Structure 1
């Protein structure tokens, strides 16, 4: 496993923070590709095979960003030189300043997303690392869960219950094997005053889920299905 150091932005005075262009899911995808290169280097000694691995990793990562600037290409370029875990960790650490954080919504904004919720508390912003999020989620009243995603620059909210399953399975959002629970939302059907329940199994720990997400496609499908 590749570990990335926790870093704090301490740029002050006249220092300018680099322009962020990498979402959390894209960073995780890059991290996965770096891990593949490290594993390939450790388990194989065929130079041609390793060259193909590096080429594929480079191609897949650059494909995530259709309109890269020359500066951004320079930022991502060192991926192709990753061989050992130390190389991967140094490369990934250098990418951290370029990560786009998930929007830190104020309590008033969250309340608007969930108008039917009474006394919505929401998460404490100081306890949340928004740079490591593709979605924001928290629980209140035991198993009542609120989930916030971003679509077309706008925040959307889905609420439901998260019931612990006591088992491991594949998460519908990150597609990784972890301890999962059944998230169920109740939505109004086309019939008058009729409601249907929809849900799926997701990670019990949303921080783990956010660390594993390497595409937003499944997250989008999951929330869209709940909102039908």
Structure 2
């Protein structure tokens, strides 16, 4: 079978597995455990609206499990079904940021591409954050100022409590009669560490909405 599980979907599966494993280990009432199984089935089915029957059967196998070793084997069995993130080549990435003459790229060879929903990296010297994401079937890149807060908050991308910073990007849209000096910035708090963020993200809708607001 061709890989069909994207990173955020895999993270959702892991989250649901964790909830079910905890219920199986700590809850005595079988009705409660069955309720957790039923909710897991709903969540995973909802997360794969375009999956084939065969693919969905693979995902839903975890619902019937009950012990820690079974859950571990189940997650391991999904590895071959995971879709790696297509980062593009260094040259392709540089073309996404034509105004940056000396763009510092991350080490693409060192990336675990199966564990990425978006490619994000910082240029600490320039106080900038770069994001690359496959929006509407093509890679798009945005850059913005990243201001560290040195404290925890809710990341708008993964919706988890982590160490965050304020990411601010300029939009490309302009009103028809805007002056040459017009600009509009959109900002939101997001994880300071994109690896942590990619490991937590279970829904790509927030980052897609943010990117649409910036690039369109």
- Normalization by structure 1: what TM-score? 0.86
CA contact (8 A) 2:133 2:139 kept: yes
Q: Does 1:81 align with 2:64?
A: yes
Aligned partner (choices 66, 75, 97) of residue 114 of structure 1: 97
Aligned residue number for residue 46 of structure 1: 29
CA contact (8 A) 1:137 1:206 kept: yes
Aligned pairs (5 A) from 1:124-143: 124-142=107-125, 143=127
SS of residue paired to 2:104: coil
| Structure 1: 4+ residue segments shifted above 4 A | none
Check 1:117–1:163 CA distance in 2 against 1; reply closer, same or farther (3 A cut).
same
Aligned partner (choices 119, 130, 139) of residue 146 of structure 1: 130
Aligned pairs (5 A) from 1:1-228: 18-142=1-125, 143-187=127-171, 189-190=174-175, 191-193=178-180, 194-227=182-215
SS of residue paired to 1:195: coil
CA contact (8 A) 2:40 2:63 kept: yes
Aligned residue number for residue 5 of structure 1: none
Alpha-carbon distance, 1:141 to partner: 4.8
Q: How many residues align?
A: 211
CA contact (8 A) 1:58 1:79 kept: no
For structure 2, the residue ranges without an aligned partner over 5 or more in a row are: none
Aligned residue number for residue 6 of structure 1: none
Counterpart CA distance in 1 for 2:171 and 2:31 is 54
CA contact (8 A) 2:16 2:40 kept: yes
For structure 1, the residue ranges without an aligned partner over 5 or more in a row are: 1-17
Counterpart CA distance in 1 for 2:171 and 2:87 is 27
What is the CA deviation profile of residues 131-157 of structure 1, one whole-angstrom value per residue up to 9, with x for unaligned ones?
A: 101100111252211100112221011
Counterpart CA distance in 2 for 1:83 and 1:76 is 15
Check 1:48–1:113 CA distance in 2 against 1; reply closer, same or farther (3 A cut).
same
- Normalization by structure 2: what TM-score? 0.91
